Amino acid sequence: MTDFHDLHTMWSDPDVVRHISCVPSSEQECWFRLLRYRGLWDLLGYGYWCVRTKADGRYVGDVGFADWKRDIEPSLDAAPEAGWVLARWAHGKGFATEALQAALAWMDGRGVDRTVCIIAPEHATSCRVAEKCGYFLKGSACFRAEQTLLLQRKRDDR
């Protein structure tokens, strides 16, 4: 509950959602998102974390995994789908890579063999984050009548 205001501020920022939905989220949509985030943990045993700075607790964004049951071709085959979104002030500071690496280490520790993510082809920054975290291009997919990149990562057994 204490994260709701920050979550709403981030998801209602047109710059933040430019490569995700292109439409800023309303307060109600953000509330539904928070409820979905919470429900993922109970239903799947994984979900999204709120990311905050260690120094002062400032809200950075959300990172985690879901099975959104997307109507996407080809199918994601129920593989956990990684996602990350950061507040505008946090863009370009390395937070996404650090948070995603920590989330992936957590998922690797649970024995999940592979995760996937989808990224808009023009979103070069997210593509770089995914690559730094071990994702590779599996192909393209059609989602919401648009072509998107489908990336995959195998568990790190080091």
Over residues 84-105, the pLDDT tens digits come to: 999 999 999 999 999 999 999 9
Dump pLDDT digits (tens) for 112-136.
999 999 999 999 999 999 999 999 9
**What is the CATH architecture of 2-154?**
3-Layer(aba) Sandwich (3.40)
56 or 19, greater pLDDT: 56
CA atoms within 13 A on the CB side of 110: 13
Predicted local distance difference test score (pLDDT) of residue 120:
93
Predicted local distance difference test score (pLDDT) of residue 157:
60
Predicted local distance difference test score (pLDDT) of residue 146:
84
User: Which position has the token pair 């990684």?
Assistant: 82
**Using 50, 70 and 90 to split pLDDT, how confident is the model at 12?**
very high
> Residue 158 pLDDT more than 70?
no
Residue 137 backbone dihedrals phi, psi, to 5 degrees: -70, 120
Span 145-156, average pLDDT = 91
Dump pLDDT digits (tens) for 21-78.
889 999 999 999 999 999 999 999 999 999 999 999 999 999 999 999 999 988 898 8
The domain spans of the chain are 2-154
